[in-house]
Chain A
Amino acid sequence: MLETINLSKNFKDKKVVDGIDMYLEQGESVGLLGPNGAGKSTTISMISSLLKPTSGDIKLGGKSIVRNPSEIRDVIGVVPQEIALYEELSAYENLKFFGEIYKVKKGVLENRIQEVLEMVGLKERQKELIKTFSGGMKRRINIAAALMHKPQVLILDEPTVGIDPQSRNRILETVRELNESHGTTVLYTSHYMEEVEQLCNRVYIMDHGKVIASGSKTELLSILSSELTVQVQLSETSDHIIDTIRLLDHVRHVEETNEGIRIISKRDANILSAIVLAAEKEGIQVTHYQMETPSLEDVFLHLTGKTLRD
């Protein structure tokens, strides 16, 4: 339905997006993962026709939309990262405004406003001013505004940044419902791995402007099929013991976390006894350990050498 071919964007001499190829099938929910500054927002700005690519192409139904953006504008709904609403107006008035600019017919506008308010769970508060809403409620109306013209593709740019868990769950529920019940194609960008794991059938992982991996969750996890994650707690930790573990055979990555030390190593290796031995040499006890199944977070760590929120 929608695809990007070798899509690139330069700002002066800096390459922000570097040759991205991606596609979205109709009715699919696709995640675009990456840390801050990975180029996610620039990519979706190009897909939504707000930015012209420096090179490459974007096709909708096989037709290039770079020179004729009006075609994609009719089809997509974009939820920006910022709260793009009139704070001085009520939720109802904002949605009416967005309905009017999308030329939703007068006869159906009223029904559509009530429909989207129902979807985001704010029907009862429609007459209240946006400036009186909590961050989560504002984000929900921000999504509702993008739904006024019943878009076939919904592009959400980090829609859950800085909100409480309840609002976050509500937003994820709304997006899931749109995708599953209404057949809306979703492109969801986030740096929260768990959101993408929860919502998306396929994931593109971006870093430094490039797609470094893509596929379904199973496909991505298979990258780590030969690896093992061990979470270890020691009686005391020091830089020296971390360095010692890092130098052990088969260890790919070591990092200190709130829960102890997280180690990724080759699956077949007898890593646990090697760690216990290394710790004993330093006079340190292993107080707790846990073998973990790799997550997408581990995949990202494996591919980039850093965590998503670095």
Chain B
Amino acid sequence: MFPVFKAQLRKDKRNPVTIILFIVASIAATLIFGNSTIESNTEVAIFSSGPSAKEIENKWENLLNKNESSTFVITEEDKAREDVIEGRRDVAIHVMENDYRLVTSSYMPQILLVEQQVQEVFRKEAQLVAAAGNENTDELRSDIEEYMEDPPLQVQTQTLNEADVSKHDMGIQLLFGFTLFIVMFTIGFKVNGITADKVNGIWNRMILSSVSKTSMYSGHLCYSFCIGFFQTLIVFLIFKYVMGYDLGNFSMILVIVAVYIVSMVSVAMLFTGILRTPEQFNMVFSSVIPIIPIISGVYMPPGTISNVFLQFIADLFPLTHAMDAVLHVAIHDAGWSDITLPLVIMLLIGVVSMGVGINMVERRK
């Protein structure tokens, strides 16, 4: 096993560009997409027009910023409009005395969230003005705020085990999603080395040597596992210790990643069994793999993919189960018993794919 393992390692030592590129791609994708999601949800430009523009802007800035999920910033009207046109911001709000207009180029999901917040504030304000009648609105507002500090009805949301409901962090989800997605390519291309060895005759030479078939397979597969795990570990370590991301219980995350990589090596082995040449493998694997995170909902908030057929297809690949497990650990502080099912499913996918894959490779003439 070790000579085969070492030969693969020597090849990558000679040309480590692919691995480095994949590590950089994992980090860059997380930073670009993770941060853009957060940014678009947090800062919204507001502006007004007319002689009392300043007054109106100040009034609504105060009221809108009472909600902490978004920050509303007074901006020059021209600049706000230009930012939207140039795509620097998704939305700006033209505030008026008792009304508002959304300035946007397209109707994206995050705009819907902003509109909900703005609408809520304007509706409350309209109710307040109506309730105050001829009285002073500010006085009524402070009375209500004072009253609401100790409201008669209090609702507290808890999880089933009475813990606080944690907030879903899309940044963390994308970090795991991109890393586990990109490592699929690394694993696939390394397992493809078996087909390459078969096609160029090295496999036959190994069969004639003192190395057993088990050692030949384990050399290749162990190397694919190690390089995949190494890549993931590097990315997670950078995010945890350099960028300060909270990844939850790190040892549990690493166990999940290890099981995921074992499972993914097996899936790549299944592809190797089905496809005859390294070129076929590269073409089909590279075409199929990018679809998996999309149907698994890796790039979207949980629950977005509701189609049963897509969910079934996604369940056939380890990525869905790995994402399920790592997000439970990182966001919801799940314990071992909570992630046992996804781990077992991943191992099951691994055993079946490996069995079928090796069988098909061996049957091929």
Contacts and interface: CB of A to CB of B under 8 A. Distances in A.
A pairs with B: yes
Contacts of B211: 101
Nearest to B8: A86
16 contacts: A73-B209, A73-B210, A78-B208, A80-B204, A86-B202, A88-B11, A88-B14, A88-B15, A89-B7, A89-B10, A97-B7, A98-B205, A101-B205, A103-B210, A145-B205, A146-B205
A11 B365 CA distance: 10
Contacts of B10: 89, 93, 97
Interface string A95-111: 00110111100000000
Contacts of B204: 50, 78, 80, 84
Contacts of A103: 209-210
Interface string A51-94: 00000000000000000000001101010101111101100010
Nearest to B4: A101
Interface residues of B, number: 21
Nearest to A87: B200
B348 interface: no
Q: What does DSSP make chain B's interface, helix, strand, loop or mixed?
A: helix
Interface of B: 2-4, 6-7, 10-11, 14-15, 200-202, 204-211, 365
Contacts of A129: 14
B210 A102 contact: yes
Interface of A: 11, 48-50, 73-74, 76, 78, 80, 82-86, 88-89, 93, 97-98, 100-103, 129, 145-146, 149
B207 A50 contact: yes
Contacts of A86: 7, 11, 202
Given A89-B7, A97-B7, A100-B3, A84 B201 contact: yes
Contacts of A93: 7, 10
Contact of A73 (B200, B202, B208, B365): B208
B210 A80 contact: no
Given A80-B204, A86-B202, A100-B2, 19 more contacts: A49-B208, A50-B208, A80-B201, A82-B201, A84-B202, A86-B7, A88-B11, A88-B14, A88-B15, A89-B7, A89-B11, A97-B6, A97-B10, A98-B209, A100-B6, A101-B4, A101-B210, A145-B205, A149-B209
B202 A85 contact: yes
Given A86-B7, A100-B3, A48 B208 contact: yes
A97 B15 contact: no
Contacts of A97: 3, 6-7, 10
B214 to A, nearest CB: 14
Contacts of B3: 97, 100-101
A76 B202 contact: no
Nearest to B199: A82
A48 B365 CA distance: 16
Contacts of A83: 200-201
Report the 8 A-B pairs with minimum CB-CB distance, sorted nearest first: A84-B201, A100-B3, A101-B209, A103-B210, A82-B201, A80-B201, A101-B211, A97-B7
Nearest to A103: B210
A83 B199 CA distance: 10
A80 B205 CA distance: 8
Contacts of A146: 205
A78 B209 CA distance: 10
Given A100-B3, A100-B6, A101-B211, A84 B11 contact: no
Contacts of A84: 200-202, 204-205
Given A82-B200, A83-B200, A101 B206 contact: yes
A85 B199 CA distance: 11
Contacts of A100: 2-3, 6
Nearest to B7: A97
